[in-house]
């Protein structure tokens, strides 16, 4: 039974970004190019800013860059860190090292604290590193909220408390690319100085927009830099005198229409509901995974549920069953699961043990049950040993009021 997923039924791209695009987002983008010098597009863009800030839970500044998450990473660093200055990177997965490497690329000294691939930050070790920094050489902590490779979620509010307790002036730069619009994130209440995200995950828009939110305190850091490259400079973007300055050139017209539709969806549902929907769907997934793991090799990468993302779940089977399962569900069911990323080297056969589930953005209970049913079917088809009762366990979670 091999189906051609392009012609029969809807396929489900259950990878942790890009996420499923809502029909209303696609429809909003299906239009001719607008005038970029006057009219509707300009008014619409101005209206996006307050609605983006509501997603980040900030009263401060919001900027939009044409670029992906890496662009937002670079933008945040370019406005806060000078060559030769130090950044501290507590790492719970590969994306933390990716951001750190970007900091190295702009000439920063990068100090890593590696907590492995299945554990959240150890705040005591972060405290030791900050305490030892008596000269305050560390100008920023690069804090990945949810590391999409491991599916570990870190406690950013606790990091703020730690910096305050130690009276350390380092800024918190938070990577919320996988978490914003999925896991609770409150920029102002948590004392985050700069938050970055991108369009293609919880925000449900195709890849191509990066967002940087920053406070006045972060802007003070920018003002003491010897130079800020023009394209990345957030000042004109956050407070443009002419529309052209929002994007340093031509606006990403169609992405903006898509973003308008996506923000309408998010705020019609409300941030609290968006977060609780993701939490509930994640609990259903974990309940199923815990049943599967009762027999055989399936393992949730993050043991402690309080450190698990609500948007992505990293899993492991015996190698090469992770890869076999992904290939089977894609080919036979039109269900595409995420590859394991950064958990084992490219030449390491163990890399075929890992896979990930994306459950971010435009997802609901029937999609999650279909995804879990697809995995169950693949495990059976491939004779991969697994515990029973996974779908019942997920249904029990979703059946609760």
Size of the site for ligand PLP (CB under 6 A): 14
136 phi and psi, to 5 degrees? 55, 45
The Cα–Cα gap between 322 and 72 comes to 31
Beta carbon nearer to ligand PLP, 177 or 221: 177
Residues numbered 82-101 forming contacts with ligand PLP, rule: CB under 6 A: 95
**Residue of 17, 22, 202, 374 that binds ligand PLP (CB under 6 A):** 17
Which segment (65-73, 127-135, 357-365, 374-382) binds ligand PLP by CB under 6 A? 65-73
Contact 191, 318 (CB under 8 A): no
The Cα–Cα gap between 21 and 30 comes to 13
Residues numbered 211-240 forming contacts with ligand PLP, rule: CB under 6 A: none
Contact 234, 222 (CB under 8 A): yes
Residues numbered 175-214 forming contacts with ligand PLP, rule: CB under 6 A: 175, 177-178, 198, 207
Beta carbon nearer to ligand PLP, 147 or 352: 147
Cα dihedral sign, 396-397-400-401: negative
Which segment (171-179, 272-280, 295-303, 354-362) binds ligand PLP by CB under 6 A? 171-179
Beta carbon nearer to ligand PLP, 334 or 338: 338
β-pair partners for 194: 173, 214
Tokens of 151: 């599916």
Phi/psi zone of residue 32: left (φ > 0), alpha (ψ -120 to 50 degrees), beta? beta
Which segment (32-40, 47-55, 66-74, 350-358) binds ligand PLP by CB under 6 A? 66-74
CB 18, min distance to ligand PLP, A:
9
CB 98, min distance to ligand PLP, A:
6
Count of alpha carbons within 13 angstroms of residue 183, beta-carbon side:
28
Beta carbon nearer to ligand PLP, 285 or 394: 285
Q: Does 70 bind ligand PLP (CB under 6 A)?
A: yes
Beta carbon nearer to ligand PLP, 69 or 378: 69
**Residue of 69, 90, 181, 374 that binds ligand PLP (CB under 6 A):** 69
**Residue of 45, 148, 253, 314 that binds ligand PLP (CB under 6 A):** 148
Beta carbon nearer to ligand PLP, 54 or 70: 70
Applying CB under 6 A, which residues contact ligand PLP? 17, 68-70, 95, 144, 146-148, 175, 177-178, 198, 207
């Amino acid at each position: 039974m091999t189906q051609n997923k392009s012609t029969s039924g809807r396929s489900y791209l259950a990878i942790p970004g890009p996420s499923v695009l809502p029909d209303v987002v696609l429809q909003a983008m299906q239009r001719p190019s607008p005038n970029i010098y006057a009219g509707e597009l300009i008014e619409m863009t101005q209206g996006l800013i307050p609605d983006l800030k509501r997603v980040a839970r900030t009263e401060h500044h919001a900027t939009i860059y044409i670029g992906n998450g890496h662009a937002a990473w670079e933008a945040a660093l370019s406005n806060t860190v000078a060559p030769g200055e130090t950044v501290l990177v507590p790492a719970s997965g590969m994306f933390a090292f990716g951001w750190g490497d970007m900091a190295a690329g702009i000439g920063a000294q990068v100090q890593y604290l590696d907590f492995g691939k299945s554990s959240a930050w150890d705040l005591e070790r972060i405290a030791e590193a900050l305490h030892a920094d008596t000269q305050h050489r560390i100008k920023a902590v690069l804090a990945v909220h949810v590391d999409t490779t491991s599916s570990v979620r870190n406690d950013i509010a606790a990091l703020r408390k730690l910096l305050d307790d130690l009276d350390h002036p380092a800024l918190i730069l938070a990577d919320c690319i996988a978490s914003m619009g999925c896991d609770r994130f409150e920029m102002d209440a948590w004392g985050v100085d700069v938050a970055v995200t991108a369009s293609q995950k919880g925000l449900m828009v195709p890849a191509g927009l990066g967002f940087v939110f920053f406070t006045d305190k972060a802007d003070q850091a920018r003002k003491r830099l010897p130079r800020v490259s023009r394209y990345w400079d957030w000042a004109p973007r956050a407070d443009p005198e002419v529309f052209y300055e929002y994007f340093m050139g031509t606006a990403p017209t169609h992405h903006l229409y898509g973003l308008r539709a996506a923000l309408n969806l998010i705020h019609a549902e409300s941030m609290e509901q968006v977060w609780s929907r993701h939490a509930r769907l994640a609990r259903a997934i974990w309940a199923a995974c815990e049943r599967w793991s009762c027999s055989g090799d399936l393992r949730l990468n993050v043991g402690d549920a309080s450190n698990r993302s609500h948007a992505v779940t990293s899993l492991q089977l015996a190698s090469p069953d992770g890869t076999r399962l992904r290939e089977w569900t894609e080919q036979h069911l039109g269900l595409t699961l995420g590859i394991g990323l950064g958990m084992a080297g490219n030449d390491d056969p163990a890399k075929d043990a890992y896979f990930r589930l994306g459950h971010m953005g435009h997802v609901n209970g029937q999609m999650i049950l279909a995804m879990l049913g697809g995995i169950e079917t693949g495990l059976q088809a491939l004779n991969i040993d697994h515990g029973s009762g996974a779908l019942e366990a997920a249904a029990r979670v979703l059946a609760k009021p």
